[in-house]
């Protein structure tokens, strides 16, 4: 299994829809995870941190499944402004201080 793997998409959804992305990781000892959002030709920005079973912030919910080694991001009531690439980020190799970034899942919300 790769260190981190995401479905590249694109996910094309209508406004108001609910969409979910999954991300699998290989390091079973990982304790903290992140979802970043990256707009076209911009820098990544932190969307959510996930330290335990999950986290919720408004329309966004992140869930962690340690047994299956995946994390998910759920977006409810999609807005046009949610169109972006969503990066899954996990700790690097055991003993490493690095983070490993997924290649991202592209979301397009359509009017």
Partner 1 sequence: DGGITQSPKYLFRKEGQNVTLSCEQNLNHDAMYWYRQDPGQGLRLIYYSQIVNDFQKGDIAEGYSVSREKKESFPLTVTSAQKNPTAFYLCASSISGASYNEQFFGPGTRLTVL
β pairing state of 60-65 and 70-75: antiparallel
As measured in angstroms, the least distance from the Cβ of 15 to partner 1 is 26
Q: How many CB atoms lie within 10 A of CB 11?
A: 19
Ramachandran angles phi, psi of 82, nearest 5°: -80, -10
Task: List all residues 6 or more positions away from 101 whose beta carbon is below 8 Å from its beta carbon.
Answer: 4, 36, 44, 87, 88, 89
Q: Residue 65 or residue 96: which is nearer to partner 1 going by CB?
A: 96
Using the rule CB under 8 A, give the single segment among 14-22, 55-63, 72-80, 84-92 that binds partner 1.
Answer: 84-92
87, 105, 107, 109: which one contacts partner 1 (CB under 8 A)? 87
16, 42, 56, 110: which one contacts partner 1 (CB under 8 A)? 42
Q: Are 92 and 31 in contact (CB under 8 A)?
A: no
Q: Residue 101 or residue 109: which is nearer to partner 1 going by CB?
A: 101
Q: Which residues bind partner 1 (CB under 8 A)?
A: 4, 8, 31-32, 34, 41-46, 49, 51, 87, 91-92, 96-104
């Amino acid at each position: 299994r790769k260190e981190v793997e995401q479905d590249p998409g694109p996910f094309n959804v209508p406004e108001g829809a609910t969409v979910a992305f999954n991300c699998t990781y290989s390091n079973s000892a990982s304790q903290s995870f992140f979802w970043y959002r990256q707009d076209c030709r911009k820098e990544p920005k932190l969307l959510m941190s996930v330290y335990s079973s999950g986290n919720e912030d408004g329309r966004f919910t992140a869930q962690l499944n340690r047994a299956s080694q995946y994390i998910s991001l759920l977006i409810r009531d999609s807005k046009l402004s949610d169109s972006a690439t969503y990066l899954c980020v996990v700790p690097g190799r055991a003993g490493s201080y690095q983070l490993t970034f997924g290649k991202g899942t592209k979301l397009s919300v359509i009017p």
